[in-house]
Chain A
Amino acid sequence: MATVLVQIVRGVIEADRRLGAPGGDRGAVVEFQGVVRGLEDGAPIDGLEYECHVEMAEVQLRRIAEETARFFALDSLLVLHRIGFVPVGETSLYVRAESAHRRAAIQAVDEVIVRLKRDVPIWKAACGT
């Protein structure tokens, strides 16, 4: 059984690099960070304000993560999404997958993000300069 952890967080995301049972069979660790970019629709911004239906987002995200971890037979999957104000250059989304094999970990990270962007109730608004 994969270790699956999802969390909607306020404040800076500190990537938990210790996730996953030591001595597990992982041969591949893939980490993704989504970072707030300095331009939104071509205009410079200070950051993004993320709005979130937290209870629903956690349920949806957990379902996505559990299904993805099972499908790709991962050792572990961690998904953190920051909400509230996120300044330019800071991480809004952090995903980490551990697996025996590279392709499974890479595809799992991509799949989680695709589904998150489709179904998890989070919205953003640019905060101008």
Chain B
Amino acid sequence: MRTLYQITEAKIDVGALRDALADPGSGALAMFVGTTRNAFQGKEVRYLEYEAYGALAELEMERLGTEIATLWPSVTGIAIAHRVGRVEIGEASVAIAVSAPHRREALAACAHGIDRLKATLPVWKKEVFADGSAWRENVIEEDTHEGR
């Protein structure tokens, strides 16, 4: 299985994630890209700061890759990137790409992957407003995705 796991201060290169999974035997590539939003509950966000426990975050990405390969054995590649540092509004903060021979597995594994990243990745997010800032925890939803 092809894998790429990144914690990066540079802008996430979504095209590079795709390229990392290029495989003439895999017809399906599902991707999710999370971008920073300009508002939280009506309050304007100026920019965001992400902070990671880098070594553990990369380990968690590897664990997720192993889990996905077990749940969907036909998956041929997984690429994950998470941005750290100051991230401007509208920029990608996280991206996950999953390749497989067929679309069902790629789509289901991608949806599962972003759910697990939100729940497990040791990354913290601070929203910076004009008049202050706030650490924002993820609300962990149940994994209700089907298609496994």
Report whether chain A binds chain B: no
Q: Which residues of B contact A (CB under 8 A)?
A: none
